[in-house]
Amino acid sequence: MGKITIKRFSCGEIYINVDETVRGKDVFLVQTATENVNEDYMELFLLIDTMRRSFANSVHVIIPHFGYARQDKLHEARETISAKLMADLIIKSGADHIVTFHLHSDQIQAFFDVPLDNLNTRKMFAKYFKNKNLNDLVVVSPDVGGAKAAKKFANELDVPIAILSKSRPEHNKATIDHVIGEVAHKTCILYDDMIDTAGSVCRAQSALVKKGANPDIYLCATHPVFSGDAIENLSTASFKEVVTTNTIPVPTEKKFKGLKQISIASLIAEVIDHVIRKTSVSSLYF
């Protein structure tokens, strides 16, 4: 672990100073997108550039939660594709290699013009649920767009899927329509890449129960964004468990009953080890 000084001047500007020589070194930076996503990105751009100007041999950027991932295509005219711009700015700042975790869409891999390892949390989650020996499981996607990811996770557990089909009248708001597939008398695992405001998953829970699902419903998602009313929503909802990772730090005051966090630390350690020893990383991502 290298030493580095990062401070903010009273005018808001970030100041970075590396406290030891990195000349000719292979540097690994770990930076995730929290609720201060814009500050996080600016800090990341400056960190990468500092390493480059300090003669690092290569800069590997590990981004546990890639912010702006949902803006990966045009939803309406005259928007931009912010996820692509973030990728471009990261590359422009001088990154040589990117490591991400469970990207919102797999196509984002191609947004980076440098090699990228997109690590998967699917196996970690599957192992967790297999250890529970639950019967009559079904993986449920909270929306149609997540159906494919849910299918892959269901394949890992060797169980069927169901899908919630909602109409989303406005950004960030969600209304559930109806359940496609069989959920009656089954134990549901609602599966998604991230939990943001948790509004739609909470409404999904109600819809599933109404359809006769076992009321002990599990919520499973890689990225605990937990923004807006998420904590309130999740605290009042009676999920059996909310299983997530630590790609985004969850402060103690945000932790609620039923929250389980599986650490990605060993995955990061492993990928760094593979990169240094120049061995195949692929076993980590499929």
- What residues act catalytically? 166
Q: Does residue 178 interact with a second copy by CB under 8 A? A: yes
Residues 245-274 that bind a second copy (CB under 8 A): 274
Q: How far apart are CA 144 and CA 165, in angstroms?
A: 6
Buried (b) or exposed (e) across 104-137, using 16+ Cβ within 10 A?
bbeebbebbeeebbbbbbbbbbbebbeeeebeeb
Q: Does residue 158 interact with a second copy by CB under 8 A? A: no
Q: Does residue 3 interact with a second copy by CB under 8 A? A: no
Q: Which of 98, 178, 211, 106 is nearest to 148 (CA)?
A: 106
The pairing of beta strand 4-8 with beta strand 137-141: unpaired
Q: Does residue 241 interact with a second copy by CB under 8 A? A: no
- Minimum Å distance from CB 274 to a second copy? 8
190 sits in the region (left: phi over 0; alpha: psi -120 to 50; else beta) called: beta
- Residue selected from 26, 89, 123, 124 as contacting a second copy according to rule CB under 8 A: 89
Q: Does residue 66 interact with a second copy by CB under 8 A? A: no
Q: Does residue 148 interact with a second copy by CB under 8 A? A: yes
- Residue selected from 62, 63, 108, 262 as contacting a second copy according to rule CB under 8 A: 108
Beta bridge pairs of residue 29: 61
- Residue selected from 1, 76, 169, 170 as contacting a second copy according to rule CB under 8 A: 76
- Minimum Å distance from CB 216 to a second copy? 22
Q: Does residue 31 interact with a second copy by CB under 8 A? A: no
- Residue selected from 54, 238, 246, 261 as contacting a second copy according to rule CB under 8 A: 54
What number of other Cβ atoms are within 10 A of residue 171's Cβ? Answer: 9
- Can you say how many angstroms the Cα of residue 106 is from the centroid of all Cα atoms in its chain? 12
Q: Does residue 175 interact with a second copy by CB under 8 A? A: no
